[in-house]
Amino acid sequence: MLCPRDRTPLTTVVRQTPRDRVEIDVCDRCHGAWFDRHELAAALGIGNLEAFAPESPLLEGDEASRPCPRNPGVRMHKRHLTLQDASLPKLEIDQCAECGGIWLDGGELPQTIAALRDQKVRPFLEDPELHGGSAALWLFMFFTGLPIEQWNPRARRPVVVPTLVALCVLAFLWQISGGAPTLQATVMTLGLVPARLFAGDYRTLVTYMFMHGGWAHLVGNMYFLWVFGDNVEDRLGRGRFLLLYLTAGVVAGLCFAVFEPNKDLPVVGASGAISGVMAAYAVLFPRTRLISLILFFRVRWRASVYLAGWLLLQIIGLELGQRGIAWWAHIGGFVVGAAFALGMRQRPTAPTALSGPSSPSAPRA
């Protein structure tokens, strides 16, 4: 392999880490170093080997930079730490989106070590295997049947998700303020009724998302929104996340209205919009682990596998003709969320091919 800075051959140096021996490729002239995927985390003794993966929330930025030493025909991306302390010199590293390798210029390794000491960064460095094993979480899953997210720290505090949760809770408290008659009246008035929608009552395409039919309906929906929504908001940004949520909810409502044979049957709940959020989570964080119970045994699922299984259950429920659940709304929202996330995810998802002469020896500005 050649140094991306001055095109001289790299020298392989073997380092023993607590986990294993790591081969690092260094340049004797500029003192830069190349780390294949996982090697930087292993060399630094970080528990999470995926901390520096291209899809990690710890890194951001996708400006094309120098040729990749491992794939000379592909340009790397300039990346920096999402949560870097402003008091430290800005750390900018090069990463190949195709192989996941990282290039550090001479002097950038000590800067990287210093930046990783920040308390805000530490959650991204923890071994995911240390999470999700407490007895309290086991009891929670046993009594609720709900999955838990094993480990997926976020870079920024969510704003849209807690706002949506608060709006749904306040709307439900208003629904039950007058007892059962008021709850039923709000379901019929602000819920989505296909016959009324096709007659021009389009407001219910939005209002139905904030109405719920009972405490269990509300709590279950808000749990899934919180578990999956915070990371999706973090990755997409607040504006895009809100657009995703509302778009999935509207399309879910339209699917229900079109395919539900009983046009006078109302539907309420955020399930369709949250299905879109869950699909986006599966696209953006496919390798994140979710834990659920099968009988008394904990099972760790890849998020993409678990949520694909959830979608399959919706299709099976639809085919079996089970009543009481808006299957079409769930399916429609899920499809929209997946398509939305595929088009708008913010990470270097594809390598950048070299397009003309490059000058890898030129210093950075």
pLDDT digits (tens, 9 = 90+) for 193-211: 999 999 999 999 999 999 9
Kindly give, in sequence order, each residue whose CB lies less than 8 Å from that of residue 254, ignoring residues fewer than 6 positions away.
205, 332
Instruction: Indicate if 67 and 159 belong to the same structural domain.
Output: no
Provide the H-helix boundaries in the chain.
39-43, 108-115, 135-144, 160-175, 180-190, 194-198, 204-207, 215-236, 238-259, 271-284, 303-320, 327-344
CA 131 to chain centre: 18
Instruction: Indicate if 28 and 93 belong to the same structural domain.
Output: yes
pLDDT, averaged across the chain? 85
Distance CA 89, CA 293 (A): 46
Q: Is residue 139 part of a domain?
A: yes
Over residues 279-297, mean pLDDT: 87
Q: Is residue 303 part of a domain?
A: yes
74, 352 Cβ separation under 8 angstroms: yes
Instruction: Indicate if 63 and 161 belong to the same structural domain.
Output: no
Among residues 97, 126, 155, the one where a domain terminates is 126
- Give tens-digit pLDDT for 125-137: 877 666 656 677 7
Q: Give me 41's structure tokens.
A: 């985390």
- Give tens-digit pLDDT for 235-275: 899 999 999 999 999 999 999 999 999 999 999 999 999 99
**pLDDT for residue 90:** 75
**Rounded to 5°, angle at Cα 79 from 301 and 153:** 35
- Give tens-digit pLDDT for 49-104: 888 888 787 888 888 898 999 988 899 999 888 776 666 667 788 999 889 999 99
Q: Give me 7's structure tokens.
A: 């095109």
Strands 102-104 and 148-149: unpaired
Instruction: Indicate if 333 and 228 belong to the same structural domain.
Output: yes
Instruction: Indicate if 91 and 18 belong to the same structural domain.
Output: yes
Q: Is residue 352 part of a domain?
A: no
Say how many residues make up the chain: 365
Instruction: Indicate if 74 and 95 belong to the same structural domain.
Output: yes
CATH of the domain at 161: 1.20.1540.10
Q: Give me 163's structure tokens.
A: 């706002």
Q: Would you say the pTM of this structure is higher than 0.85? A: no
The boundaries of the domain holding residue 17 are 11-126
Distance CA 211, CA 167 (A): 10
- Amino acid present at 52: F
Instruction: Indicate if 161 and 301 belong to the same structural domain.
Output: yes
Q: Report the number of secondary-structure helices (H) and strands (E) in the chain.
A: 12, 11
Provide the H-helix boundaries in 76-214.
108-115, 135-144, 160-175, 180-190, 194-198, 204-207
Structural domains of the chain, count: 2
Instruction: Indicate if 226 and 148 belong to the same structural domain.
Output: yes
**pLDDT for residue 20:** 62
Distance CA 107, CA 363 (A): 14
| Pairwise pLDDT comparison (252 vs 22), residue with the higher score | 252
Instruction: Indicate if 339 and 207 belong to the same structural domain.
Output: yes
